[in-house]
Structure formats: C-alpha cells, structure tokens
Amino acid sequence: MARADDIPPISPMGMTLDAFVELCAQQGVGAGRAKAAYQDVYREGKPDSAPSRIVLPEIVKRHEEPVNEGVTIKFVQRLPNPNHRLLHRGIDFDDIESVIIPMIGRSGRKTHTLCVSSQVGCAMGCDFCETAQMGLIRSLTASEIVAQWWAARHIENIEIDNIVFMGMGEPMDNLDEVLAAIECLTDRSGASIPMANITISTVGRIDGLRRIKDQVQEPGWKRLGLALSLNASNDESRSKLMPINNKWNMQELQDILQELREVRGGRKIMIEYVLIPGVNDSLTNADELAAWMKPFLKDPTREKAKGHGGLLNVIPYNPRRDSPWPAPTEEQVDGFVDRLVSHGVFVNRRRTKGRDTMAACGQLGTAEIRKRQFVPVTMNNDSNRDTDER
C-alpha cells in the first residue's frame, strides 16, 4: 500500500464517493482511506486530507442584504480563463455568482436555499435577464458547480437545505455536467442533499427535458425537482421575450411537461412567470395563462388525482442593468395573481430578495463582460407579503 507522502494529491470535488475510491485505487490507496478523505472534504470541510486536496476558486466579491428571514448573501468566485474571448480588454477570468437565500416555511423552521450557476453567461438571449446580456462565455464543470456548494457550506458556514439551478446559465445547455454535479451533491457520504431538495430550471429546451424524462426513471432520480421559465401567456409574446420559443413553442412545452408529470408519479412541475409591467401583466395575459395551465389544475373527475399538477410562481420583475422596464407595483402584482386564483390556478407569489445587490432572480451577471454598458436603474422596493425563495 502506498504511503500518504508518496501519493499525488487527488481532488474529489464534483465526484461521487465511488468515483473517488476508484481513482484512488489506481494510485494504490485503499477504499477505507479514500472514503475517510472524501468525508473529510465534504462533511468536515477540510481542503487537505491525504490523499485528497481541493483548490477552491477565490471569492472576490460578497454582498449581504437583510430580509425578514435573515440575510441574503451573494458571493462571486473567480476562475482563471486565459482563453477568454475578451482577453483584448484585459479580462482573463470568469466570475461565477451564487446566492444563499434564507427562508422560513409554514412550519416556522428556517432553511437556506443555494442558487447555483451552471454556466458563465448564457446563450439563450432572454431580453429581461441580466445574465443573457453577457452572452455565453463557457459552461462550468461539475467540480466548479459543486465548489459553489462547498463555499456556501464551509466558507460561509451555512447549512444548505435546498439547491436550485437558477443562477447564471441554462442548465439544459450543460446537462452532462449538471447531472454529474447532482450525483455528487446527493451522495450520502458527501454533501447528502436529498434529491427532492434539488431543482433544475430551464427556459424550455425540450431536448433537455426529454433527457430528464429518461433520467428521472432511473433509480434515485424520480424526485428531482423541475421548473420551467415560461414568462408569457402566448407564443407571440414569448417569442419576443425568449428566442427559444421560436424553436419549441408553448404547446410543445405543455405536452412534454405532462409527460414528465406522469413519469414522476404526479409530482408538481414548477412554472415560473416573471411579471413585467406593460409586457405580460394584463388581465388578458392572466386569462391566457390560466388557460395554458389548465392541464395542470386539480381535476376532480380524475379518480387518482392528488391535487394540482403544477405550481405557478409569479415573480415580480427585477430590473436588469439598462432595463427598459421598471419593477411592477404591488397593485399590479396583486391584480394579476387574484385573476389567476379566480380561474382556480395554484399560485405562489414570490417574495423579492436580493434586488438591491443584483442578487435577485434574473439579475446575476458580470458587469465587466456584459454586452451592454452599465446604466444604473431605479428599483422599486417590494413589500414582503409572502414567503418563498428569491
């Protein structure tokens, strides 16, 4: 058996225990010793535990914003990138942003949700989103994704209960690495996050959703959470806001989500709707949206119906830099939500957290490498009416 001093350091970041044990075996390290090192890294937060060693991206920025439940924290990790497309502007790094969101549920228990990034920038081009203004720089590796959890858990020293892939990037554009990261994060010898506490969000890549349909039928994956960023009530409006709709329209999205609901045992699909004044917030929009949601409403005629098949999250728009739209008023949000409820839609009104630090939904992005010039935006303050993440 090899001595500890003779073995080159091996990083378990982004790996399952089994994968790490196999890699260690190739270096002559026994399974018991490898498991102990793996648990030291993930459970105890030790970056060095022979034969393992991890190197974490430097945290270069950190912002806090007090909210009713505690403090929302955005931290920025910096990765070197000597091949950056903006090297001529002196930019040879990639910044990835993550947000820790405190929440208090109906039981009164305080939890923390970590919003992770899967890419640097994004190629989807959604007009309302700050990240989209950067364009796509590159996708992250499973190791770089898991490093965001490690920093939140062991540098910020916060117990992370839930993980949502709702940060920078489109997870379905980087699905192999996202799924590998989830395998690592759910490993019971490591981070041990329950599969039911992890959610992947997508703008509507149906090819990716078909892969997810296959994946959730594998052992241990059935309870993976899914969210669709819809943001419009008809194809014309959605295609203007979200170019992806020109390839896969709302009927195709509705169809694949119904298929996913069936193979996931009826587990709810989360539908995200960013409410933008003058764009998608009229009562007509609410009526159209309710009609689209109809297949996901509770059907009393179905014998085995367990309730609503879809939860609609209404998210008040958080203005990006140089935004052409303001945040909606409370009256606009209330009127839209009330109209949906009158149609029997299961609606949750998202509370705004992190808007002042550009940490709220749709606001993540590196100003230095975005396509457009930074222009400060006057942002409305949201009253804290309901409890939910970002």
Active site residues: 361
Helix, strand, coil percentages in the chain from 3-state DSSP, rounded to 5: 35, 20, 45
* Number of neighbours of residue 275 by Cβ within 10 angstroms: 22
Residue 103's DSSP bridge partners are 111
The C-alpha atoms of residue 101 and residue 73 are separated, in whole angstroms, by 7
The C-alpha atoms of residue 301 and residue 299 are separated, in whole angstroms, by 5
Indicate the helix (H) or strand (E) that contains 209: helix 206-215
What are the phi and psi torsion angles at 164 (to 5°)? -125, 130
What Cα–Cα distance (Å) separates residue 167 from each residue in 129, 147, 292, 314? Answer: 11, 14, 26, 18
The C-alpha atoms of residue 91 and residue 87 are separated, in whole angstroms, by 5
